[in-house]
Structure 1
């Protein structure tokens, strides 16, 4: 079997540059699904064998190595599960969540909060592998680097892009040296993905920041209107043109001085969504919103779901006492925006023009904060409710599918 049967050209370039040359930090960054983690997982195994050899030469019985990620679940999903799938490697964990592999003690560290450094304080590590590095707290990343003081210690890292002001880009990617290497990946570097899959990903990726980051792997700031693919001539319809709808659910954004809103989404059997009602106003107490919700129940059924802003738990509790099927929305902001944007991009979300008013005011004024890479918290009351509805329902669909698979197939 030739090396090209196992690795893409980009991965072979990384192999040649990292195995044959000296370095301290090797950072792979770029598009999702471009092959970064695959090659780093293999380099991780190579590094453990190299560390064991150094330890043998120095008479060290149990050298230590840091395996870092945002959480235990991301390490399991992105690294350990993939190693098991590829090589049947199944570590045996001790009571601290650490394990031995190739005679090296691998200590897990979690980079998503400052408490993640607890597992590695005072240790001398012979290397580290940091997954999803842009999501790491800078203090935790710095602590990991400082712990790598064993002979020949080296650090593998990979990440998807973030905003161009991110500390990782400014301090490491923009300042390569003979000790700090970095490699940029684009989606098309992963030639093991089928052309059809890559074209499908491109066709469903929203324009603007999401395209630049997810397809081109660029560290770009967000610019302009958030929902760039929204086309009034295409995505507005009249309510008398609605197709048969088989499912209904709602998004709720509480408000008082700023606007509160409830939106109703209707969905076809094929999964196309329609914003069919908008209720948005100011200076109304919870009794008003209870009446709105009960009216929605009368029109669409008592079990219609209301995905609510969790910022007002007392309001969610009041809905529940009123036998309204209310639950906290999944408020992941960028993921939610991307979910809505994808539906617009592929013409799976339409708006009943004659049943909305505030949406028409917000859709072209909802813009990106260039520095933060997130939408500015203005002109977002109905759009937040829409995001809560669309994204939370998608998340719940995914969870239901996992449960169904476990029941049907036993995994």
Structure 2
């Protein structure tokens, strides 16, 4: 007679996924037989693929009489993280032809079973589960799901034999998911699987080595080692002023844009960023080339939005353009503005600019800047005095970290916020340009 683990493995072979699994993935699939099954660990460690294959196995034999549910923070992340790999024949083989989902649709069909798609961006999403009886659930990025929603989902898994499968990247050690579930795994009907980057042997060793170099500090511990660790100390602890501050601008291949952190009583800071031409090693870098900053307290005068716009225009007009000697003035592709500065955005429109509201995802923005610094892909001109004055003292908030929240101390960060807006919001533009160029230089 088969044990639950061997039965799970046999069902997996029947489904026929073509992806080659690591020992850690195979073990997690075979042993995820509890009511709650959680995969946690580093980026690209293979945890998501293992959990998705296990969910497919469950759907094939799930009890009837209740709904199947897939949960994520947004409909877009659910499609990207769950359905794109599920419908990829290179991962799930012929099973991919039996999975149907249209991006944004409220339901999907997986192996002939109707599956409800539920986004859980905030606590109000909990109402979408009211009255539902669930036979099974898959949760993507569980640490981003509101605690009340998670509790409601568990309460709805009332069909006999119902199971929940979930993945998460590590978060702060005081996060509710760690305190209430991971630390109590032996007290609950639960299985927990921890993955590190090295648990995925299918990755290119060069890619793994690069990823390990690009993440440092907090990000390395969480996204490489898969640890639930606290944010502490300096945020940009990998910053090297001796190497990264430049006195002469390199030739700029593409002016990416200006990031603006708006302030009236607080300083307004504008940072100009561009991508340099390849150096003799074929490497381009993102360059913070110039800064315009107005501190009303130091200047003893506040400027209007119209004055801000006029002075920023004048600043851009008088920046020496490294395209050639004697040329002056730049007009970058993007003007990325603090999303809270509605009146200033309106003024920029009136003055002929096409501003874009910055993406204010603070942690994601900090991580993008951190990765640039760690990969030695950032240079800052010495004229960016505000930015250089802030970067060394930019630190995590210890009090918030003790409560499980990762947040920087909101003090002397205006130029850093401006750079974060331009770096993170335009990441898809400059990132592809920083790929090393082959050839003789």
- Structure 1 residue matching 2:252: 3-state secondary structure: coil
Q: Distance in 2 between matches of 1:231 and 1:376?
A: 21
1:322 equivalenced with 2:351 (yes/no): yes
Cα distance, 1:281 vs structure 2: 2.5
1:390 paired to 2:393: no
Q: 1:330 to 1:399 in 2, by over 3 A?
A: farther
Quote how far apart the aligned CAs of 1:47 are.
1.1
Alignment size in residue pairs: 385
Q: What do residues 315-353 of structure 1 show as CA deviations (whole Å, max 9, x unaligned)? A: 011012111342212222111111111111122111222
Conserved? CA contact 2:99–2:109, under 8 Å:
no
* Kept after mapping to 2: 8 A contact 1:303/1:324: no
Match of 2:267 among 248, 259, 263: 259
Secondary structure class of the residue paired with 1:327: strand
Match of 2:100 in 1: 91
Q: Which runs of 5+ in 2 are unaligned?
A: 1-12, 279-283, 297-301, 319-328, 434-441
1:43 corresponding residue in structure 2: 54
Match of 2:277 in 1: 269
- Structure 1 distance, partners of 2:133, 2:22, is 35
Q: TM-score, normalised by structure 1?
A: 0.87
Is residue 364 of structure 1 aligned with residue 392 of structure 2? yes
Residue in 1 aligned with 2:413?
380
The CA distance in 2 between the partners of 1:158 and 1:302, in whole Å, is 44
Alignment of 1:201-216 (within 5 A): 201-205=211-215, 207-216=216-225
CA contact (8 A) 1:254 1:312 kept: yes
Deviation, structure 1 residue 96: 6.7
Structure 2 residue aligned with 1:31: 42
Find out whether 1:293 has 2:312 as its counterpart: yes
The 2-side partners of 1:385 and 1:11 are apart by 41
The 8 Å contact of residues 107 and 119 in structure 1, kept in 2 or not, is answered as no
Which residue is 1:192 aligned to? 202
Aligned CA RMSD, in angstroms, stands at: 2.5
Inter-CA distance 255–7: structure 2 relative to 1 (3 Å threshold) = same
* Partners of 1:208 and 1:223 within 8 A in 2: no
Deviations 1:154-211 (A, max 9, x none): 1111100111111001101111125121111101101111212111211222x11111
Q: Secondary structure at the match of 1:368?
A: coil
CA distance in structure 2 between the aligned counterparts of 1:94 and 1:346, rounded to whole angstroms: 34
Uncovered stretches (5+) of structure 1, i.e. residues with no partner: 401-411
Query: Which residue of structure 1 aligns with residue 240 of structure 2?
Result: 231
| Matching residue of 1:6 | 20
Instruction: Tell me how far 1:302 sits from its aligned partner.
Output: 4.1
Residue 404 (structure 1) aligns with: none
User: Structure 1 residues 218, 120: closer, same or farther in 2, change over 3 A?
Assistant: same
In 1, Cα distance between equivalents of 2:431 and 2:80: 16
